[in-house]
Amino acid sequence: MEKIRYERPFIIKMNAGLMNKFGTQSVNEPVTHIESVSVKGMLSEYGSPLFVISEKQIRRNYQNAVRIFKTRYPKVQFAWSYKTNYMNAVCRIFHQEGSWAEVVSGFEYSKALGNGVQGNKIIFNGPDKNDSDLILAAQNNSLIHIDHYDELYSLIRLSEEHGLKPRIAIRVNMDTGIYPKWDRFGFNFENGQAWNALTRIANSDNLELVGVHCHIGTFMLSPTAYAVAARNLCELAWGVKERFGKMLQYIDLGGGFPSTNTLKGAYLPGTDTVPSIDQFADAITDVILGYGFKHDELPTLILESGRTLIDDAGYLLGTVLATKRLSDGRRATILDFGLNSLFTSLWYDHKISPAQKLGNQTEEMVMFGPLCMNIDVVRESITMPLLQKGDQVVVHKVGAYNMTQWMQFITYRPPIVLIDNDNNTHIIRKGEDLKYMEELEQIPEHLV
Ligand SMILES: *Cc1c(COP(=O)(O)O)cnc(C)c1O
């Protein structure tokens, strides 16, 4: 007979299905399948931990967002924010659906070209574009969004030297009532800097001014802030029309719509508090439609939504390595993934479900990752059934930013599997191994 493990007895209050003031305690229903593919099956086939992405969910999210905006405004274009998740398979799903690419570095720009996006459908944002990036983007007719005067002057010089006439817009920062203000990117609206930059561009023979852009923040909870942003961009577009007799082709309101994750410290879950895309769309389109542009000169509305389109399409599956009691008697569960793979556990109280049926008794516990580092905490406090070594868990809504901001530290980064529309699974990024990790290292002669 197998020996039963001994644990020093503790007297601790157990909660089973207690009521609280919001109703019954949230149930810990096991999640055994994702899009009807077995969680256990995927873990045994591909190993643990494992990222899983649902192609169906990405397409549902995208089509839903497009429908919401297109039923309110005649000209709408989405551009996929590469930094939110630049796995090529993911980007290609968005491009197949009709999304352009929104990139913020030469690296991301190359990835977009590699994914078959036409140059004129790539939006190049961000403060870091070097001369060769700018030349390539100009030659490809991409939309270059200027971040600062140094970039503007470089682009004017390069355009003259190379006989180019790039299509450009400026990024505008502004006070939308959200603090801290994001004023480090682009040209300020209130102090006239944005208008000065537009004037400089409109007066240049080597630049074609085509739009205005802003990205006012991320995980924004206020549709009103977007109404303010839309009004300010309309005012700039109107000014360009009045002063230079030229209607801008587009107004780009950036990304920033929240996903339904729960921010750390929030009183209620994100699913109950986050405004819907409809509310953001109403706020934005009411302003543009009401601004006074003639119908045939309405600018195209560009959106660069990232997290709201992908977060709930991503899952992280993992395994319990051990459980222990901390010195204060709290239960601790150690998982085989931590901050290294799940960067967003710094921001969110991620929902975590057991992947198998466990007992009805629950206990408040802390969930640690596997790193030998004190800050490696996945959840500071979560009430869960009594997970044991070998039990498996599913973390929800991890599709945004984790697969780009993950860090290689102490362990390898896990593989990523895509569940396609027919529920077939495909590896879209292999797990790392020693060979991959050491590929770029070199040993100097005297240490060989
Ligand atoms: C990051 C970023 C986005 C996407 O932001 P989300 O908050 O994920 O929607 C869009 N535009 C720009 C310029 C960005 O930097």
Query: pLDDT tens digit string along 222-280?
Result: 999 999 999 999 999 999 999 999 999 999 999 999 999 999 988 889 999 999 999 99
Q: What is the pLDDT of residue 354?
A: 97
CA dist., res. 130 & res. 103, Å (int): 14
Query: How many A from CA of 380 to the centre of ligand 1?
Result: 28
Find out whether 257 and 221 touch, Cβ atoms under 8 Å.
no
Query: pLDDT tens digit string along 128-183?
Result: 999 999 999 999 999 999 999 999 999 999 999 999 999 999 999 999 998 888 88
- State the residue for tokens 């006989």: 163
Min mean pLDDT across 1-15, 258-272, 296-310, 331-345 is at 1-15
Structure tokens at 187: 């040209």
Angle at 184 between CA 231 and CA 86, to 5 degrees: 90
Q: What is the pLDDT of residue 361?
A: 87
Ligand 1 binding pocket (C-beta < 6 A) is 81, 83-84, 102, 104, 125, 215, 218, 254-257, 304-307, 400
Query: How many A from CA of 217 to the centre of ligand 1?
Result: 8
Task: Report the pLDDT averaged over residues 370-388.
Answer: 94
Testing ligand 1's pocket by substitution, the residue of 218, 226, 305 carrying the most ligand atoms inside 8 A of its CB is: 218
pLDDT reading at 301 higher than 70? yes
Task: Report the pLDDT averaged over residues 206-211.
Answer: 97
- Residues in a beta bridge with 393: 318, 354
Of 124, 50, 62, 128, give the one whose Cα is nearest residue 95.
62
pLDDT reading at 290 higher than 70? yes
Of 328, 335, 382, give the one whose Cα is nearest residue 12.
328
* Ligand 1 atom with minimal separation from the 401 CA: 8
pLDDT reading at 386 higher than 60? yes
Query: How many A from CA of 208 to the centre of ligand 1?
Result: 24
Task: Report the pLDDT averaged over residues 373-394.
Answer: 95
- Residues in a beta bridge with 50: 317
Query: pLDDT tens digit string along 171-201?
Result: 999 999 988 888 899 999 999 999 999 999 9
The model carries a pTM of 0.94
Query: pLDDT tens digit string along 23-53?
Result: 555 568 999 999 999 999 999 999 999 999 9
Task: Report the pLDDT averaged over residues 292-296.
Answer: 94
Could you state, in order of their start, the residue ranges of all structural domains in the chain? 33-52+313-437, 125-305
Testing ligand 1's pocket by substitution, the residue of 184, 221, 304, 401 carrying the most ligand atoms inside 8 A of its CB is: 304
* Ligand 1 atom with minimal separation from the 217 CA: 7
How does the average pLDDT of the chain come out, rounded? 94
* Ligand 1 atom with minimal separation from the 308 CA: 9
Q: What is the pLDDT of residue 25?
A: 56
Local confidence band at 442 (pLDDT 50, 70, 90 cut-offs)? very high
* Ligand 1 atom with minimal separation from the 145 CA: 13
Task: Report the pLDDT averaged over residues 204-233.
Answer: 96
Query: How many A from CA of 341 to the centre of ligand 1?
Result: 21
Testing ligand 1's pocket by substitution, the residue of 82, 83, 397 carrying the most ligand atoms inside 8 A of its CB is: 83
Percent of the chain with pLDDT over 90: 89
**At residue 176, what are phi and psi to the nearest 5 degrees?**
-105, 10
- Going by alpha carbons, the residue nearest to atom 5 of ligand 1 is 255
Instruction: State how far the alpha carbon of 363 is from the alpha carbons of 3, 13, 380, 384, 398, in Å.
Output: 25, 8, 13, 6, 24
Testing ligand 1's pocket by substitution, the residue of 81, 343, 404 carrying the most ligand atoms inside 8 A of its CB is: 81
pLDDT reading at 13 higher than 80? no
Q: What is the pLDDT of residue 280?
A: 98
Q: What is the pLDDT of residue 20?
A: 58
pLDDT reading at 342 higher than 70? yes
* Ligand 1 atom with minimal separation from the 400 CA: 8
- Going by alpha carbons, the residue nearest to atom 8 of ligand 1 is 306
Q: What is the pLDDT of residue 8?
A: 75
Of 374, 380, 393, give the one whose Cα is nearest residue 332.
380
pLDDT reading at 291 higher than 90? yes
Q: What is the pLDDT of residue 28?
A: 80
Domain at 125-305: CATH architecture: Alpha-Beta Barrel (3.20)
pLDDT reading at 109 higher than 80? yes
Between 2.40.37.10, 3.40.50.1240, 2.40.70.10, 3.55.40.20, what CATH number should domain 33-52+313-437 receive?
2.40.37.10
Q: What is the pLDDT of residue 295?
A: 93
Task: Report the pLDDT averaged over residues 106-118.
Answer: 98
Pick the residue with more confidence: 182 or 417?
A: 417
